[in-house]
Structure 1
Amino acid sequence: MITDKLTHISFRRFISWVSVGVISAGLLFAFRQQPVGTDQPRVLDNRLELTLFAENPDIVTPIGIAIDSLNRIFVLESHTHLPPKDYPHSRGDLIKVFVDSNNDGRPDKTTVFADGLTEGLNLAFSPEGHLYVVTSRTVWALYDRDGDGVSEERKKVLDLAQPASVYAHAALLGITFSPDGWMYVSRGNTGGQAWKLVGTDGSSVSGYGDGGNIVRARPDGSRLEEVATGFWNPMDLKFDNKGHLLAADNDPDSRGPNRLVHVVPGGDYGYKSLYGGSGIHPYSAWNGELPGTLPYAVGLGEAPSGLQDASLTALPSDYQGQMLSSIWEESRIVRIRLVPNGVSLTGEAESIVEGGPEFRPVAFATDRTGAVYFTDWVLREYPNHGKGRIWKLSAKSGTTTSRPRLPNVATSPTTTDKPLTELYATTNVDSIKTALQSTDPFRQQAATMAFANPALRRELIEATNDASPAVRLGTLIALQRSGHQPVEPIARRLLSDPDSRVRQRTLMWVGQSGMVALKPDLERALTAGPVSPALFDTYLETVAHLTPAFVTAYRNRTELYSKSIKRPLPPQFIENFIRDKTKPADLRALAIRYLKNPVEQGPLLLSLLTTEKATPLRVDIVRALANVPEPTVSNQLLRIATNRAEPGMVRAEALLALARQPTDVSPSVHPLLNDPNPDVQLEAVRYLRTRLSGVDARKAFLPRVASFKTHPDSPVAQQLSLAVASSGGKRPTSLAAWESALATGGKLERGRRVFYSVQAMCSSCHAIEGRGGDLGPDLSNVGRSKSRTQLIQAILRPSQEISPEWQGWYIRLKNGEEHQGRQIDVGGKEIELYTQTAGFITFPMKDIQDYGLIKTSLMPGGLETQLTVEDLRDLLAFLQAKK
């Protein structure tokens, strides 16, 4: 219903509140400074108007809503969502019917259509006109055969037979009907528990450790089948005017954004509950990062709860072909402008209604005139609280509007849909191979599904030897999904494939399928070609997946929650890998990045530093030692930095690492200002800038500034000038001038050192290839998604565009302190805030004055004042290369 994760509140903690009967009356007391009902939402599109249709006590804690052909408004009124002690209302959920027969904008008749429901979530009318209700464990069809406005019969059409108990917002969630009469239902991830959904004819879908999914069945509950998987908790789903099935999916705790997903048959959208709630794992994806997974269409704000096809409305004509979504946590409604993207969709969200903390929009429905009605939970409290509203959104008189499309009317395939539909059904191998080589992931997906056809088994196996890496990649995914056996000989061969993505996906196949016999062959994936950090990470996870204890526990489902099954690497696996001199130096260098505690491995790292000669390995040793704050480490790093026989790259990295050490070695670094290696000079200036006072810096740097008179724009000269005069040479004064100055140029390796420098502090919040913080987005692939101009704007104007998943929050304490962070977990007695410096910090409610959304980016502005123009060029070159 409202949000899958209680805005990241842990399920265990929330249940513990309920079990002791403590539902704090002061929950979000900071938001109760005004009486409920004074929070009037604002309409941001001046062509629209918002009117209050009904409110408590006539409607309380409303969730799902649906409107029939007679314009009767059916609303699901929740009373079983963790009701507090002595709750004064009904002990079962109700479905109320509101009728406005005189069209005055207020109901003149309210009746109860059905009662006695438990943990109700959503409503929808079938094409035949019967009302269906989704509860956390059941889909019911409700019948009013005599037309008196009261349901006299209900039939269970889908039943969640397992697990025995599950949190309501992680079970059955949304429902919609397709124009051709199928019933589609969304299911949450059940917290990683084993699950089984059963239809009326015995057909079933089940899983353990997978993600949430979308299933479909006939309206009578027969012919149940899975449509797509890989969701966190898809709260709602609707078809748009072109027949695309769209789902609003909430995000895992450390992965974002919440997303609008174009759902296609057989689609895997990347999330698996086996790997925990963070969403960060080598086998998991969120935006199509892994082969075989699909990207989302649009990133949404926190806790999208409802969807509405705007083509069913009589809103202004430019709303046609768009979707509406309620963003529950952010107290707003957005319009989503959708445009074709290959055979799929993309777009952007724009707020059209915004409210304060007592505005919590949930679900939508439209009447036959095209007016939009939506439910409002009012308060942020999750337990039933006795407040509620229903709003009507419509176009103002005189506004040019479109004629609303009738619901459940079939649409002909569009020019972009037809090729996709045909591809799913084809048995033409040449067509399939062509599609597998497309750059469109949805065409690749359809081709993979087509190739999994049992009739093409021989051709599929032959295609694993195809000359095209894209075809080989598609065939191995098709083999895994089809369940063909035996496959171990094919997987063993593909572990040595020259293409790294084929090897990566083969490792995942081996691990997910538990091919223990291939454990001795896993290193083939590391020796057949170049190895990226992502491939190495996948290799390590596959080693862990093939440990006998994990294979047995997972297959036997020995843990109630799949994520509780441990997958440790063999003891000392990383340390032994690093020590093994028979392995290539570049692989050993990658392994160093996976040392869990570099401080404990300080002796090993220092030993390697004195014995290893390969530059890549030495560089990664130095980088790891930056996080080992000991005098012996500082001495070794200084020895390397001042040794001209060492490669310049190693010396520069040693200076960068020294900047993070507590020991001040400024006197020894000062002579490096005259070093012949410009990279060493550059890092020496940066080091001294962090250690010297303003007066000492001028004394140290002024003589060097004078020596660069003939080359004032060189990187070292700019750095010296910035240190002495806070100018860094001639500098742009406007965003346009900066964009022009930074349009080209830069050196990648220097840019990496800027990224990890004390001056830039980028790595405090951002990680690249596993190194850095997680307060901001991971930038390992930022060059793939953003142009150089977009990167410049993001660095220089961080608050100009804030992605929903990185929205900042503040907590203001009564003692005047203010704390800022990225994630907020609101409890009955405390609030947790995820911060840059200390991770999650807990604040007792009694100490909090106020909290809420931060209007600006968590990334501070003014970074350019700490960096030279050349620094920024280098940083951009480094980020652009991350693809």
Structure 2
Amino acid sequence: MVRYLTNSFGGFAGTVLVLVTVTLSFRFTLDPADMPRVLDERLELSLFAENPGIVTPIGIAIDSLNRIFVLESHTHLPPKDYKGPTGDIIKVFVDSNADGRPDKTTVFADGLKEGLNLAFSPEGHLYAVTSRAVWVLYDRNGDRVCEEKKKVLELVEPASVYAHAALLGITFSPDGWMYVSRGNTGGQAWKLVGTDGSSVSGYGDGGNIVRSRPDGARLEEVATGFWNPMDLKFDGKGHLLAADNDPDSRGPNRLVHVVPGGDYGYKSLYGGSGIHPYLAWNGERPGTLPYGVGLGEAPSGLLAAGLAALPPDYRGQMLATIWEESRIVRINLTAKGASLTGYTQVIVEGGQTFRPVAFATDRNGAIYFTDWVLRNYPNHGKGRIWRLTTRKGIAVEKPQPMYAPVGPDAAVEVLNRLYNQSSPAEISQLHTALQAKDPFLRHAATVALARPAFRQQAIDATRDASPLVRLGAMVALQRSGYQPAEPLVRRLLTDPDAQVRQRALQWVGEAGLQEARADLDKALTAGPANPALFETYLETVAHLSSAFIDAYRNRSEAYAKSIKRPLPHQFVENFVADPSRPAVLRAMAIRYLPRPAEQVWLLTQLLTKEQHPQIRLEAIRALAGVPDQAAGRSLLATATNPKNPVSLRAEALLALARQPAEVSASVRPLLNDPNPEIQLEAVRYLRTRLSDSEAQRVLRPRYALQKGGGEEPLRQQLALALSPADAGHKLSHRPASLAEWQTILATGGDAQRGQRVFYSVQAVCSSCHAVQGRGGDLGPDLSNVGQSKSRTQLVQAILRPSKEISPEWQGWYIRLKNGVEHQGRQIDVGEKQIELYTQAAGFVTFAKNDIQDYGMSKTSLMPDGLEQQLTISDLRDLLAFLQAKK
């Protein structure tokens, strides 16, 4: 029986649907093929409710009486002909006989717009997050019907915003604070206001985490630098964790340990790609913090596993719904200094009709989660609620009470002691922490040092002998709004440490300190420079444009990312061509030529007229990507001139392989060059150009000379270019198993040769991976891979790439109706089209009408069989190159 009541409370008027309590008989229509698989055999999954009893559910919360409150969405991009209610509904499900099926359902409240999340406060009141407000919903008489609704936080700006980029998640701390996550509002100016007039605002910044008292008073920012933190929860030790979606081409989605004052690196001012010198995604920039765990695509909900009745090995871990990948993962967390790290394991996996969203647990420790069912964003009338429990007979940990006080944690206490430092007499402790390896300790010390009580000590610390102390002091002073900044920054631009100079450049750009423009070049010449420093320098020059400064300060564009920051006309080109500039800097600048195809004349002049080998080397590398006859001629002339350094000649041959011109006749004489490195690269080039019959005629005589000895890398390269019959005898043994490969590749290799292998057309490594700014971004950056991967791990990653795929690098495919299949790293599915981030062209858009199928790739985007194109010597050299990246 359904009864309609007209209700009005707290300025919120609407029609309240009240489903009068009745006994219901549920007949589930779930196709067995749609049943998600539970990958932990100790757990079991059952369907609790489904449409039409529940449709497009998002948030979920369970009260102390085990009543299940679910936010049913009807305003999430509803189609024009949508038949449902005009407002979102909060339904209450009661399973009074504990049979795993709801026998009573009522409507608690309706009329919400763009509802996203629910949570009960420690006092037992239900809070609802919509895209533009946080509401507290009162049910003082316990009849499961809300009689008063009060707005405690309101997003008063912008006037309109996409729901997934505004207010998102909510949780409460054991000490009673309310924490709310906010998306980046697409770069629009925003302002969030509490009940006492307290507010937080921004423009062009990233998403953030704020907190207030439960009544909406004392609103303040906790941390910033997020993309869209969809959910946040405390774990059993009191760490605040957020699940953050990722910028378009940066990745991965990340689990972040949120600490006071934390900056996690993203700003919407710099667009959606996430690639910019002032940005960080894993603590790469001074003053930003790294993430804890990489997650799969579109994490939506978090749950502290300790709140559930799960096997003992789940204690201290988190669960996350990975909406896009139709999965629930277990996040295995371990301590890492004062923070956390870990890895994920899939425990529930479904198909295209399984889209898990949010979690809650009842007081018995059963887990309930909502399921949007379909990939379609608009409201579609489908929905499910699932119940995840431990099988009978399996030992479980007793669930922790919600909001129970957490016990002492040594790492948290260390951070808190640093945060609470307020006496100048304690400066030595801050100096020590600023030099710690742990970025969270350095951060806590920086936050403390930014207090007015430490102002003079912070200024003095910018002259400390330790570059880490100087760096932390500078970040602290900028955080504190120190003025006048210009004299201090001018000095720091000449600091002997490159990282300090880089951070000073960023301060100049972010603050728009045009008076320091004349000193920017000193940051490049005061000490050794590197590509990251140079890129930051270029962006700082662009930031000091008067047009940009005025537009940003006046908020002249609705979306901050729309404000242009052009470099002065021909700035990089003039920098490269200026002989008065240091050669090493001119060489770096070549990498940043905006349109190398338009600079063939300049590049060929640098290659033929300049004497500095690094300038010539970078000119070669730039010309490699420019298919041009003049470029090809210059590269060939460089390669064949015996007066040139061997390194340049070898690089020129490597670059020639990417040129369309056919010059194999001119390269063949290099097979007899006195230097074996040139011979090696000549064979590598000819492998890409000669037919089988030509290879036999040209390369077999050269191979015959190697039978009696000679350079092993060259002999292997020739052998690989020839079939066994062409070579005239059985080729060198090639391992047949990973274990054999591990043994034969355990040692050896030449890093310089390995760099050429990395950028060769045979290895294709650089198509997807970058090293120090050169290469693609479809796969992880390998600039520091030697720090995190052993040689054994590198061998496995190269030879068996699909054996272990990190969730942050999950591949996706789109299969068109014409049979063509495209693969990429990130996917964005809209109502009428799908975007896929691809190796060749970045984001590519496909009309849904042209698509037959799409989904997650079961294998790595990195192809199998790479070793078939490389010699054993090539692989040893490649490994030596990667191991050196530390």
Question: Would you say same fold, with TM above 0.5?
Answer: yes
Structure 1 letter corresponding to 2:801: P
> Cα offset for 1:640?
1.2
The answer for the alignment partner of 1:640 in structure 2 is 638
Describe the shift of the 1:583–1:35 C-alpha distance in structure 2 as closer, same or farther (beyond 3 A).
same
The answer for the alignment partner of 2:15 in structure 1 is none
Output one character per residue of 1:821-868: Cα deviation in whole Å (capped at 9) or x when no partner: 223332333333333334444433333222211100111111111111
1:60 corresponds to 2:73: no
* Distance of 1:369 and 1:81 partners within structure 2: 32
* Distance of 1:100 and 1:837 partners within structure 2: 53
The answer to whether the 8 A contact 1:760-1:866 is kept is yes
Structure 2 letter corresponding to 1:90: P
The answer to whether the 8 A contact 1:36-1:358 is kept is no
1:218 corresponds to 2:179: no
* Distance of 2:825 and 2:72 partners within structure 1: 33
The answer for the alignment partner of 2:303 in structure 1 is 308
What is the correspondence of 1:1-20 to structure 2 with a 5 Å cutoff?
A: none
1:319 corresponds to 2:322: no
Structure 2 letter corresponding to 1:123: L
The answer for the alignment partner of 1:339 in structure 2 is 334
The answer for the alignment partner of 1:25 in structure 2 is none
Which range moves more in the overlay, 744-753 or 73-82? 744-753
> Cα offset for 1:352?
0.7
> Cα offset for 1:712?
5.7
> Cα offset for 1:530?
1.6
Structure 2 letter corresponding to 1:656: L
1:606 corresponds to 2:604: yes
* Distance of 2:432 and 2:265 partners within structure 1: 24
The answer for the alignment partner of 2:18 in structure 1 is none
The answer for the alignment partner of 2:704 in structure 1 is 706
* Distance of 1:714 and 1:477 partners within structure 2: 52
Which range moves more in the overlay, 631-640 or 543-552? 631-640
The answer for the alignment partner of 2:115 in structure 1 is 120
> Cα offset for 1:36?
7.0
The answer to whether the 8 A contact 2:71-2:117 is kept is yes
1:597 corresponds to 2:587: no
In the alignment, structure 1 segments of 5+ residues that lack a partner are 1-33
What is the correspondence of 1:525-674 to structure 2 with a 5 Å cutoff?
A: 525-674=523-672
Q: 2:485 aligns with which of 478, 484, 487?
A: 487
* Distance of 1:273 and 1:840 partners within structure 2: 18
The answer for the alignment partner of 1:22 in structure 2 is none
1:365 corresponds to 2:363: no
The answer for the alignment partner of 1:411 in structure 2 is 406
Q: 1:101 aligns with which of 96, 105, 115?
A: 96
The answer for the alignment partner of 1:74 in structure 2 is 69
* Distance of 1:422 and 1:481 partners within structure 2: 20
> Cα offset for 1:343?
0.8
* Distance of 2:349 and 2:857 partners within structure 1: 15
* Distance of 1:615 and 1:526 partners within structure 2: 20
* Distance of 2:31 and 2:244 partners within structure 1: 29
Which range moves more in the overlay, 726-735 or 163-172? 726-735
**CA RMSD, 1 decimal:** 1.5
The answer for the alignment partner of 2:864 in structure 1 is 861
> Cα offset for 1:796?
0.7
State the TM-score, normalized to the length of structure 2. 0.94
The answer for the alignment partner of 2:467 in structure 1 is 469
> Cα offset for 1:633?
2.1
What is the correspondence of 1:110-149 to structure 2 with a 5 Å cutoff?
A: 110-149=105-144
Describe the shift of the 1:35–1:812 C-alpha distance in structure 2 as closer, same or farther (beyond 3 A).
farther
Which range moves more in the overlay, 689-698 or 520-529? 689-698
The answer to whether the 8 A contact 2:249-2:837 is kept is no
> Cα offset for 1:35?
7.8
* Distance of 2:833 and 2:650 partners within structure 1: 46
1:245 corresponds to 2:245: no
Q: 2:783 aligns with which of 774, 780, 784?
A: 780
* Distance of 1:576 and 1:42 partners within structure 2: 61
Say which SS state the counterpart of residue 202 (structure 1) adopts: coil
Aligned length: 850
The answer to whether the 8 A contact 1:712-1:729 is kept is no
The answer to whether the 8 A contact 1:767-1:773 is kept is yes
* Distance of 2:850 and 2:459 partners within structure 1: 65
> Cα offset for 1:744?
2.8
1:824 corresponds to 2:822: no
The answer for the alignment partner of 1:8 in structure 2 is none
The answer for the alignment partner of 2:191 in structure 1 is 196
Describe the shift of the 1:724–1:880 C-alpha distance in structure 2 as closer, same or farther (beyond 3 A).
same
Structure 2 letter corresponding to 1:129: G
Output one character per residue of 1:88-108: Cα deviation in whole Å (capped at 9) or x when no partner: 211111111111111111111
The answer for the alignment partner of 2:150 in structure 1 is 155
The answer to whether the 8 A contact 1:728-1:869 is kept is no
Structure 1 letter corresponding to 2:529: V
* Distance of 2:862 and 2:710 partners within structure 1: 31
The answer for the alignment partner of 2:87 in structure 1 is 92
Q: 1:257 aligns with which of 242, 252, 275?
A: 252
State the TM-score, normalized to the length of structure 1. 0.94
* Distance of 2:166 and 2:148 partners within structure 1: 24
Output one character per residue of 1:449-500: Cα deviation in whole Å (capped at 9) or x when no partner: 1111110111110000000011011111101101121121111111111111
Output one character per residue of 1:204-256: Cα deviation in whole Å (capped at 9) or x when no partner: 11111110000010111111111000000000000000000000001111011
> Cα offset for 1:47?
0.9
Output one character per residue of 1:668-725: Cα deviation in whole Å (capped at 9) or x when no partner: 1111111122221111111111111122212222222233334366211221122124
> Cα offset for 1:339?
0.6
Q: 2:847 aligns with which of 840, 844, 849?
A: 844
> Cα offset for 1:661?
1.2
* Distance of 1:739 and 1:833 partners within structure 2: 35
Percent identity, aligned pairs only, is 72
* Distance of 2:535 and 2:866 partners within structure 1: 32
Say which SS state the counterpart of residue 626 (structure 2) adopts: coil
* Distance of 1:693 and 1:587 partners within structure 2: 42
> Cα offset for 1:537?
0.6
1:871 corresponds to 2:869: no
* Distance of 1:619 and 1:661 partners within structure 2: 16
Structure 2 letter corresponding to 1:229: T
1:737 corresponds to 2:740: yes
The answer for the alignment partner of 1:31 in structure 2 is none
Output one character per residue of 1:633-675: Cα deviation in whole Å (capped at 9) or x when no partner: 2222111111111111111111111111111111211111111
Say which SS state the counterpart of residue 599 (structure 1) adopts: helix
1:40 corresponds to 2:43: no
Structure 2 letter corresponding to 1:91: T
Q: 1:438 aligns with which of 436, 439, 451?
A: 436
* Distance of 1:87 and 1:68 partners within structure 2: 32
Structure 2 letter corresponding to 1:142: L
* Distance of 2:278 and 2:732 partners within structure 1: 47
Which range moves more in the overlay, 669-678 or 339-348? 669-678
The answer to whether the 8 A contact 2:376-2:830 is kept is no
> Cα offset for 1:784?
3.2
The answer for the alignment partner of 1:6 in structure 2 is none
* Distance of 2:627 and 2:544 partners within structure 1: 36
* Distance of 1:712 and 1:737 partners within structure 2: 25
* Distance of 2:79 and 2:42 partners within structure 1: 41
* Distance of 2:499 and 2:723 partners within structure 1: 49
> Cα offset for 1:196?
0.7
Structure 1 letter corresponding to 2:313: D
Structure 2 letter corresponding to 1:215: V
The answer for the alignment partner of 2:797 in structure 1 is 794
The answer to whether the 8 A contact 1:313-1:405 is kept is yes
Output one character per residue of 1:185-220: Cα deviation in whole Å (capped at 9) or x when no partner: 000000000111111111111111110000010111
> Cα offset for 1:48?
0.8
**Which structure exhibits the higher relative contact order, with contacts defined as CA atoms closer than 8 Å and separated by 6 or more residues?**
1
Structure 1 letter corresponding to 2:852: Q
Which range moves more in the overlay, 481-490 or 306-315? 481-490
Say which SS state the counterpart of residue 331 (structure 2) adopts: strand
The answer to whether the 8 A contact 1:210-1:274 is kept is yes
Say which SS state the counterpart of residue 745 (structure 1) adopts: coil
Which range moves more in the overlay, 228-237 or 411-420? 411-420
Structure 1 letter corresponding to 2:648: V
Output one character per residue of 1:270-313: Cα deviation in whole Å (capped at 9) or x when no partner: 11100000111111111111111111111111111000011011
* Distance of 2:787 and 2:294 partners within structure 1: 17
